[in-house]
Structure 1
Amino acid sequence: MAPQPSPAASVLSEVEMLGFTAHPGTLEDYLALIARSIRESASSTVFYHNLHSLYSYYSDASLRAHYSGKTVLVDGMPIIWLMQLFGLRSLSREHRLTYVDFIFPMMELARDNDWQVFHVGQNAEVQARAMNIIREKVPGIRIAGHDGYFDQSTDSAESLAVIDEMNRLDTKLLLVGFGTPRQEAWVAAHRHRITAPAVFTCGACMEYVAGEVRTPPRWMGRLGLEWSFRLLENPRRFAFRYLVEPVLLGFHFLGNGLKRGFRARVEHPAIPPADHGENDSNRPNSPA
């Protein structure tokens, strides 16, 4: 059985700092968001932030616009540490939520409630292998999918065909794994056509499920050291991400801190599991 979400956990606090916004929550908090969104047919769109996505966020104005008004889970211990440094002492390792830890409780929750799950992303072989593993570990799960090798441009015939497929299945939980920034752009462009109440971007999640990329030991994740494992496993793929991007990100943090102040704004409670408008002018979408 999946961990049961608490009704009280279905509203997340919003943290705004250094020009970005996030909604740190525990596993139970986000399971509650999914459950409430589906049961109340309230649209939820959940992106994530780690250091790599933040680097892309600061570097790409269109990506910042896509993040505006979305729920943003924290997928990186350095962001939790930064929030703690800004005075949010109540946050802990439990508020860092990575899909390596999230995916199977999410699937169990869907199975226990007979919700259709749909994943789009990765190549067909990796996706099929991942789905077979999910079906073995979560018997009775209703899950389908489509690979990520199609024309992802706005309202392309291939994108619309994929959306028609997931809508015909009455999908309740959609996972989109193209990687940042393509997954956010695709979701933002097509969300109005997608009938699934809960939509999550999930990056390379299915690569880890399929064993295409080795999963770091969980103690490394709790200590914020997963990056070192991935770097040693695949230096060509991850060298720039883990050795260069954090340095450049530091300059973005400094610039935004000088511009906006080195402080965090916390809103309690922040959001129900329903989307804000795309053009919410109160969102910080123009960092330095």
Structure 2
Amino acid sequence: MFEPIFDTVNVGGIETARLGRKDLARLVGNICAHYSEQNKAQPFVIFSNNGHAISIYNSDAEAKTQMDQADLVHADGQSVVSFSRWFNKGNAIPERTATTDMIHDIPNFYEGTLKHFLLGGKESSVTKAADVLAQSYPNFQVVGVQHGYFNEAEETAICDAINAAKPDVLWVGLGKPKEQIFCIRNKQRLNVPVIISCGGCYNYITGEYPRAPMWMQKAGMEWLFRMANDPKKLFWRYAVTNPHAIYCVLKHGRAQKNVAADVN
């Protein structure tokens, strides 16, 4: 039986994988390659860590419970990579693994063909994203799509449709914390090797949302670019969550440092 092995570092209270883009993509592929439906193995659930996630994790008990049930949390935000260096210089996250990159990294860095199911967003967006990915990568096989405008009563039928399509990877783009709640609530219903939460990823694939220039991404300023493009939606989110996330990182980092000092 294949056991995914990776190290983690605590960033803002969230245990976050110390994996680079290639290693994370290949880990996903290897989990899928070793999955056996006959073993009744539960899906391997992957969530993301960024400033918004840190703030929610430390202020919403339900969101914290959902995040803690993930099998792996990766560094979606460049800020998380930077935060990991504050108190863990020799144990930091090597690079950002943005979900908007990961969905391309998997077919680029894992040679095998994987079947994907895209859930979330508007019907037009998720369908177009599926077309773009399938046309861009011969080893990215889309076996189904489902828009994100449904209620809890419809989830059983949706899970049945996903199982019937037999994907290797289920992408769930419903936004935080709804997508985490969906993943954990339906984990036992789904016969898929890997589930990955992906927020508004489909809109970036289709070009509906622009990516920040590379220099802003590397500087950890992609949030500023996004806010400038949609201030009504994002100004207050970042104005509140960014300072709170920094406070949470400092709080947890100092607590870890004090524990280490006591042990020594």
**TM bucket normalised to smaller:** 0.7 to 0.9
Question: Residue 15 of structure 1 contacts residue 264 of structure 1 at CA under 8 Å; is this kept in 2?
Answer: no
* Displacement after TM superposition at 1:256 (Å): 4.1
After superposing the two structures, state which structure 1 stretch, 221-230 or 174-183, moved more.
221-230
Q: Structure 1 residues 205 and 87 mapped into 2: Cα distance closer, same or farther (>3 Å)?
A: same
SS at match of 2:73: strand
1:32 is aligned, of 7, 15, 26, to 26
Paired residue type of 2:234: F
Hey, which of these two has a bigger chunk of helix by percent? 2
Aligned to 2:145: 145
Q: Structure 1 residues 44 and 176 mapped into 2: Cα distance closer, same or farther (>3 Å)?
A: same
Two-structure CA RMSD over aligned residues (Å): 2.3
User: Cα deviations across residues 50-101 of structure 1 (Å, max 9, x unaligned)?
Assistant: 0011111111111111112421001112121111111334546x52111222
* 1:61 is the counterpart of 2:66: no
Given the two structures, how large is their TM-score scaled by the length of structure 1? 0.79
User: Cα deviations across residues 233-263 of structure 1 (Å, max 9, x unaligned)?
Assistant: 11111111222211223343454456x3446
* 1:234 is the counterpart of 2:230: yes
* 1:23 is the counterpart of 2:17: yes
Paired residue type of 2:239: L
After superposing the two structures, state which structure 1 stretch, 45-54 or 14-23, moved more.
14-23
- 2:139 and 2:21 map into 1 onto residues whose CA distance is 22
Paired residue type of 1:182: K
Q: Structure 1 residues 208 and 18 mapped into 2: Cα distance closer, same or farther (>3 Å)?
A: closer
How many percent identity over aligned positions? 23
SS at match of 1:176: strand
Q: How many residues in Structure 1 have an aligned counterpart in Structure 2?
A: 250
Which runs of 5 or more structure 2 residues have no equivalent in the other structure? 36-40
Question: Residue 132 of structure 2 contacts residue 205 of structure 2 at CA under 8 Å; is this kept in 1?
Answer: yes
- 2:259 and 2:29 map into 1 onto residues whose CA distance is 29
* 1:124 is the counterpart of 2:123: yes
Aligned to 1:14: 8
Aligned to 1:221: 217
Question: Residue 17 of structure 1 contacts residue 262 of structure 1 at CA under 8 Å; is this kept in 2?
Answer: no
1:177 is aligned, of 135, 158, 173, to 173
Larger RCO (alpha carbons 8 Å, 6+ apart): 1
Paired residue type of 1:78: S
- 2:107 and 2:174 map into 1 onto residues whose CA distance is 19
* Displacement after TM superposition at 1:37 (Å): 1.1
Aligned to 1:203: 199
- 2:30 and 2:51 map into 1 onto residues whose CA distance is 29
